[in-house]
């Protein structure tokens, strides 16, 4: 997002943009997540608890699916900083959601190596199958389709990340089958990272 | 010239990531040897080896460690850069997933050398499966006394932690990485002071790439001369290359830096030439941030100095290969989308300039450009290049400057013909305008 007067606004999202998060329901960690947070925060010097903001937010998102205003206030309390400090971080990093997302978030890599191998066609095929555009969630709340930048697996292009797992060499012609397989078998339908020799050999 | 893989020798063997496997292959011997030497000797050894940073800039690692402030009551830190976000780069995750103990050993030796007790491995948020592999290895290392208090009875304490990012290319820039580690937005700091003087929490810090640190145990174990002898002068040691795009066999290849770029793209041991028998059009040799090399410029050693002489940079050694179906205006647009999206917004030329460049490129690709837009592109790119807070600005201007330099006729053809004359079958069906 540009601040230049001649630059039309509303053309997309930029990390320098400020959007206030909705407060959402009350938030507190589950006892397990609280224990995880308490262990993580010890990795940093006591006077630098703020370092634990990113891990704290990952825990929130794992628990609730997205990060609300109440959750930010909660994290601020855990860290000992202001809610604005937390919001500052949430709004910068692309992996944090401030809106609910689908059960499966499909992150299709759109950067050069993947695009050369058909990522644009893959996105089109997924859009067609799901009946949504990139950036949207389908009506059943099952799938969110996102285009993202290089995922660091360009030799197995096009790459799709689904939640935290990988699906490699995703050909456009297999897109519809992938969606069906995800519906049926969940993330077990994904190829995973090709380096998991053990998983491939069934060990 | 080919070289037996060293860093990746065992990565395709089952359970190569376990401590057992690692110890059976002389694992942690570098650390054992290092702990018996004075820290300064380690720095000296790394200096002698000529090891250059594998993260992008190729700065000598020994020198970086030597700059780390000695006489200070403050703690010191190692920050391992595992952000691996440069488009076309995918080597560090192979090391972390399949040979994680090598990195852990490298972190421990680096800490010992500069007098640090803690290393943070900053890993990009998208590498969650890699993080799990690393954490499993860390648990093993702690349990066996290769990390923690009084390592192997040496009196040296060292902790290594993984810190997960959350999606931001700019977090790979060293000072932005430190900001992110401190729990802030990944926006770079003004240098100087350099991290060696005031880094993490204002304390002396060395920021090193994963592959860089993985070379350290080898140097300590086998000696500096062994390391230098593996490559051309000032470009010693094993090197990982990432080759992607329109090649027959994309992947990570480990070889000596005397191997030529041409060999990496066409060699039988490497990427084996173009896929589908097409013709080579261009190579971006070092991740998306460096200038293009044309087919007749590839017969040079793929070393830091060799690629620089050819007019580009080795960068992160991520070679992206394009065949003759690739439209260079589309390519510039694709990469500027990346840079526009990833600009951290801290300084004006980059934040505004990347937006403008993308807009103009879209206009041209869509067929709505005018001839004067070419000069406008040049002018906007020139006003970013060299005028920003961090090297991201130069990286963002590069795709525009390099395509304009080598493929100006393609830009002109778009304007003349009112559209893209080279709309390949692998691209979006609609015009590029349909892309958001
Ligand atoms: C915009 C930008 C992004 C960068 N991304 C990475 C990265 O993802 N991984 C990395 O190791 N270095 C990256 N670097 C280089 C680091 O700033 C730094 O030079 C490097 O981590 C130093 O380690 P080395 O000396 O071992 O190479 C990036 C630099 C810039 C300017
Ligand atoms: S050059 Fe770009 S990425 Fe670097 S500080 Fe400026 S705005 Fe941020
Ligand atoms: S370009 Fe898609 S993973 Fe790198």
Ligand 1: centre distance to CA B55 (Å): 5
- Looking at every residue in chain B, the average pLDDT score rounds to 95
| A67-77 pLDDT tens trace | 999 999 999 99
The token pair at B160 is 């290594």
CA distance B86 to B78: 21
Contacts 24+ apart (CB under 8 A), B226-229: B227/B49, B227/B50, B227/B51, B228/B48, B228/B49, B228/B50
Over residues B267-286, the mean pLDDT reads 95
Question: Would you state the pLDDT for residue B432?
Answer: 43
Are A79 and B89 in contact (CB < 8 Å)? no
| B170-217 pLDDT tens trace | 999 999 999 999 999 999 999 999 999 999 999 999 999 999 999 999
Question: Would you state the pLDDT for residue A196?
Answer: 84
| B333-378 pLDDT tens trace | 999 999 999 999 999 999 999 999 999 999 999 999 999 999 999 9
Query: What residues pair up with B123 in beta bridges, in sequence order?
Result: B82, B164
Backbone angles phi, psi at A43, to 5 degrees: -75, -15
- Looking at every residue in chain A, the average pLDDT score rounds to 91
Tell me the whole-structure pTM to 2 decimals. 0.95
Decide if B39 contacts B66 (C-beta within 8 A): no
Confidence of residue B433 (pLDDT cuts 50, 70, 90): very low
Question: Would you state the pLDDT for residue A51?
Answer: 98
Task: Give B56 to chain A, closest Cα distance, Å.
Answer: 15
Percent of chain B with pLDDT over 90: 95
Whether A30 has a pLDDT exceeding 70, the answer reads: yes
Whether B26 has a pLDDT exceeding 70, the answer reads: yes
The token pair at B12 is 């395709």
Ligand 3: centre distance to CA B245 (Å): 9
Residues 38-77 of A with CB under 8 A from B: 43, 45, 48, 50-55, 57-58
Whether B124 has a pLDDT exceeding 90, the answer reads: yes
Residues 6 or more apart whose CB falls under 8 angstroms from that of B245 comprise A112, A113, A116, A117, A154, B88, B319, B320, B321, B322
Ligand 2: centre distance to CA A95 (Å): 20
Confidence of residue B2 (pLDDT cuts 50, 70, 90): low
Q: Cβ-count burial of B356 within 10 angstroms (0-12 exposed, 13-18 middle, 19+ buried)?
A: buried
| B208-260 pLDDT tens trace | 999 999 999 999 999 999 999 999 999 999 999 999 999 999 999 999 999 99
Q: Please give all residues whose beta carbon lies within 6 A of any atom in ligand 1, as ranges.
A: B 53-57, 59, 61, 81, 83-86, 170, 172-174, 207-209, 212, 390-392, 395
Crossing angle for the helix pair B39-49 and B100-114, nearest 10 degrees? 120
- Domains delineated in chain A: 31-92 (1.10.10.1590), 104-200 (3.40.30.10)
Question: Would you state the pLDDT for residue B339?
Answer: 97
């Amino acid at each position: 997002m540009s601040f230049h007067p001649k630059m039309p606004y509303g053309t997309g999202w930029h990390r320098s943009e400020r959007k206030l998060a909705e407060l959402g329901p009350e938030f507190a960690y589950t006892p397990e997540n609280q224990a995880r947070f308490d262990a993580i925060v010890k990795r940093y010097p006591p006077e630098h608890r703020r370092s634990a903001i990113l891990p704290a937010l990952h825990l929130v998102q794992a628990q609730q699916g997205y990060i609300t205003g109440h959750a930010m206030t909660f994290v601020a309390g855990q860290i000992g900083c202001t809610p604005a400090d937390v919001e500052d971080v949430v709004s910068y990093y692309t992996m944090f959601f401030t809106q609910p997302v689908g059960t499966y978030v499909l992150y299709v890599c759109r950067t050069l190596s993947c695009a050369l191998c058909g990522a644009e066609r893959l996105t089109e095929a997924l859009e067609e199958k799901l009946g949504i555009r990139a950036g949207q969630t389908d009506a059943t709340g099952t799938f969110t389709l996102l285009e993202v930048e290089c995922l660091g697996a360009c030799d197995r292009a096009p790459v799709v990340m689904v939640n935290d797992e990988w699906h490699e060499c995703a050909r456009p012609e297999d897109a519809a089958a992938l969606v069906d397989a995800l519906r049926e078998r969940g993330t077990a339908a994904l190829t995973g990272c090709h380096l998991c020799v053990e998983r491939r050999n069934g060990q | 010239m080919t070289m037996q893989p060293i860093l990746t020798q065992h990565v395709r063997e089952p359970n190569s990531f376990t401590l057992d496997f690692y110890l059976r292959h002389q694992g942690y011997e570098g650390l054992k040897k290092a702990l018996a030497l004075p820290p300064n000797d380690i720095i000296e050894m790394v200096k002698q080896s000529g090891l250059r940073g594998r993260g992008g800039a190729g700065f000598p690692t020994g020198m970086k460690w030597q700059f780390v402030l000695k006489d200070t009551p403050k703690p010191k830190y190692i920050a391992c850069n595992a952000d691996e976000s440069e488009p076309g780069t995918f080597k560090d995750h192979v090391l972390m997933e399949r040979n994680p103990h090598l990195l852990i050993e490298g972190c421990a030796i680096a800490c010992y050398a500069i007098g640090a007790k803690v290393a943070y491995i900053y890993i990009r948020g998208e590498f969650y499966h890699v993080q799990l592999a690393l954490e499993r290895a860390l648990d093993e290392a702690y349990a066996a006394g290769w990390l923690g208090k009084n390592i192997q009875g040496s009196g040296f304490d060292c902790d290594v932690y993984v810190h997960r990012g959350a999606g931001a290319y700019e977090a790979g820039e060293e000072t932005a990485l430190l900001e992110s580690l401190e729990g802030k937005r990944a926006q770079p700091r003004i240098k100087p002071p350099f991290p060696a003087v005031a880094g993490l929490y204002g304390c002396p810090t060395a920021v090193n790439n994963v592959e860089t640190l993985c070379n350290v145990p080898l140097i300590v174990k086998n000696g500096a001369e062994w390391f230098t002898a593996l490559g051309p002068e000032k470009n010693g040691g094993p090197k990982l290359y990432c080759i992607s795009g329109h090649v027959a066999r994309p992947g990570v290849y480990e070889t000596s830096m005397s191997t030529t770029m041409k060999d990496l793209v066409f060699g039988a041991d490497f990427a084996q030439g173009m896929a589908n028998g097409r013709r080579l059009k261009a190579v971006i040799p070092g991740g998306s941030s460096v200038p293009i090399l044309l087919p007749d410029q590839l017969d040079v050693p793929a070393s830091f100095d060799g690629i620089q002489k050819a007019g580009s940079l080795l960068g992160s050694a991520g070679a992206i290969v394009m065949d003759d179906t690739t439209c260079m205006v589309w390519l510039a647009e694709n990469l500027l989308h990346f840079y526009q999206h990833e600009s951290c917004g801290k300084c004006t030329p980059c934040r505004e300039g990347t937006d403008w460049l993308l807009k103009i490129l879209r206009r041209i690709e869509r067929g709505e450009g005018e001839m004067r837009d070419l000069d406008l592109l040049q002018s906007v790119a020139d006003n970013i290049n060299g005028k920003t807070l961090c090297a991201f600005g130069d990286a963002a201007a590069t795709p525009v400057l390099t395509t304009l330099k080598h493929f100006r006729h393609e830009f002109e053809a778009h304007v003349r013909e009112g559209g893209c004359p080279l709309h390949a079958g692998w691209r979006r069906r609609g015009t590029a305008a349909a892309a958001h």
